[in-house]
Amino acid sequence: MASSPPPSTASPTSSSPYRKLLHSLIYWAVQRCRMSESPCRLTVSVKRSPEPAGSSPLRISVSDTGVGSKLEEFLELDALARETPVEKWDGTLLITTTGIDDKAIYRYQFNLQEDTSSSTRFTKLATTYKSRAIFSGTEVCLCLPTEADVDDLILWLVGFVRKIFVLRASNLACELFVAQTDSAGSGDVCLSQDSDDVHISITTSSIDRLVSGLKDYALSHANTSDRCEACYMNRDRLKIGTGTAKYVDKRKAKGQLVEVVIMIAPTSSDLSCWMTNCSSTQVLHFVEFIPCPISQSSLSALMSIDWQSYGFKFKGGFIDDDGNAELQWDNMAFSHVDIAIHTYHEGAVHEWKSSQPERHLLRKALKSALFGLKADHAEDFLSCHGQKVREYVPDLAESIAGLILSSNDQEFQDECIALLGLGSDQDLTEGAVRSCIGEKMNRIIEMNDTKENVEHNAPYLFECERFDEDYSLLDEDDPDEDMIFDF
């Protein structure tokens, strides 16, 4: 565990140093679980005393069943400890850890506030020996004073753990226990990871797990204890786009990945949901399997996407006080938009090397997700230009249908009907012909709405054989004929 956390995880934006401390403790616990070859459990426990505020500390425990910890990793917390005044926290961590091959369970007391050598900051406590049991894990405990901001800390912690649930990591189960009793009675909170998605298995890919987790998160509007029934009924109507980008170190088969999921909830006739026509999106940003504040370069990547080309009316974006990216939309055509971004390295922590700039990979993954949305739901994600062109389709289809049916040339009519794919035995009303022409025009507009499609597709309006080569060669000196065939 010699590697340091990525920069974006080392200094999350927050007004409370306690949040930064817990963020780092949970980060290392998750990495220890990732290094394990067995299913692991991460448990965060908060115990609040019923005694009056200030008289008894808030006890917090972060435990995992991953590989045993290295004491050097806790030196990463020095800067965070110095941000906290000594009178609020003495900097003491109680660490219990054991490796799978260890015969004993080791206990240490580590004081982060002491400005001395690392060897004297660690105090080894009583060692307990295993009794033929084979297991590994780490528990880190600390005590904080019960002050006015404890409620905010617990509220943040609940939201933080709920975001971890979104990833549905393959070998990690996460849970949170908050035990607090006051004069008003019990205020216990118990969060455990569960899902309505029966298709999740051990072989499910990480991107599909992220889709499943974001779906539950979006349908409950981040509150898993209060599911929105109006949105849940429309679960099958969600439109989902996924994208991935990967940078592989030439010296290794494994590398850095960025995965993006964009989830669109269509506007429902049931307006009981408070999220209907929500004009903003808080982007869920994950680094190495935990929620993290977004970097300025990643926000820049989000802002640089040509959202209008994919049917979104993008208004702007910013980073809020907690380091989350907020995207603003104008004249929403959907109920709400949810976006999740996950950047992580394959392999164990100690294998990580220099990384590709996230901005490049993020742009690539975002465009892939948007292109997937457009490919699967072209009619809903037309660019602004495509929408304007589509506005002319009804009038143009009506005009062409009128010209065909008003002709006195039966051979011309029959040829047009054949080109449209309509049988001669059908009821050839003007409405049917107009509808057929309109559908074909709309399909062509949708297929050619992006630059990628324009370069590779040039579909004909009518389904007919390619013109004879000699016939299709036009006289370059006849501009009128060029204009006819351009149309």
CB neighbourhood size of 376 (10 A): 12
Per the CB < 8 A criterion, the answer to whether 268 and 276 are in contact is yes
How far apart CA 384 and CA 382 sit, in angstroms, is 7
Other Cβ atoms closer than 10 A to 411: 8
Question: What's the distance, CA 364 to chain centroid?
Answer: 15
What does the pLDDT read at residue 244?
95
Torsion of CA 348, 349, 353, 354, to 10 degrees: 130
Cβ atoms of 445 and 390 within 8 Å: the answer is yes
Q: Are 105 and 69 in contact (CB under 8 A)?
A: no
- φ/ψ bin of 335: left (φ > 0), alpha (ψ from -120 to 50), beta (otherwise): alpha
Domains of the chain, earliest start first: 1-194 (3.30.565.10), 198-381 (3.30.230), 384-486 (no CATH)
Kindly give the confidence (pLDDT) of every residue in the chain, 487 residues in length, as a single tens digit, with 9 standing for 90 and above: 444 555 444 444 445 778 888 999 999 999 999 998 789 999 999 987 666 555 567 889 999 999 998 877 777 777 676 676 666 677 788 999 999 999 999 999 988 777 655 556 778 889 999 888 889 999 999 888 766 577 788 889 989 999 999 999 888 999 999 887 555 545 677 877 766 555 677 788 999 999 999 988 888 776 655 666 666 666 678 899 999 999 877 666 578 899 999 998 876 655 566 566 678 899 999 999 999 999 999 999 999 998 988 888 889 999 998 889 999 998 776 778 999 999 998 865 655 555 556 789 999 999 999 989 888 887 778 777 777 787 888 888 888 888 888 888 888 888 888 888 887 655 678 888 888 888 888 888 777 776 554 444 445 444 444 444 444 434 444 444 333 333 2
Q: Report CA-CA distances (Å) from 280 to 273, 330, 346, 387.
A: 15, 9, 32, 22
Distance CA 207, CA 213 (A): 10
Beta-bridge mates of residue 327: 281, 317
pLDDT, residue 232, reads: 62
Q: DSSP string covering 126-188, please?
A: --EE-SS----EEEEEEEE---TTHHHHHHHHHHHHHHHHHH--TTEEEEEEEEEEETTEE--
In the chain, how many H helices and how many E strands?
16, 17
Closest C-alpha among 165, 184, 193, 118 to residue 340: 165
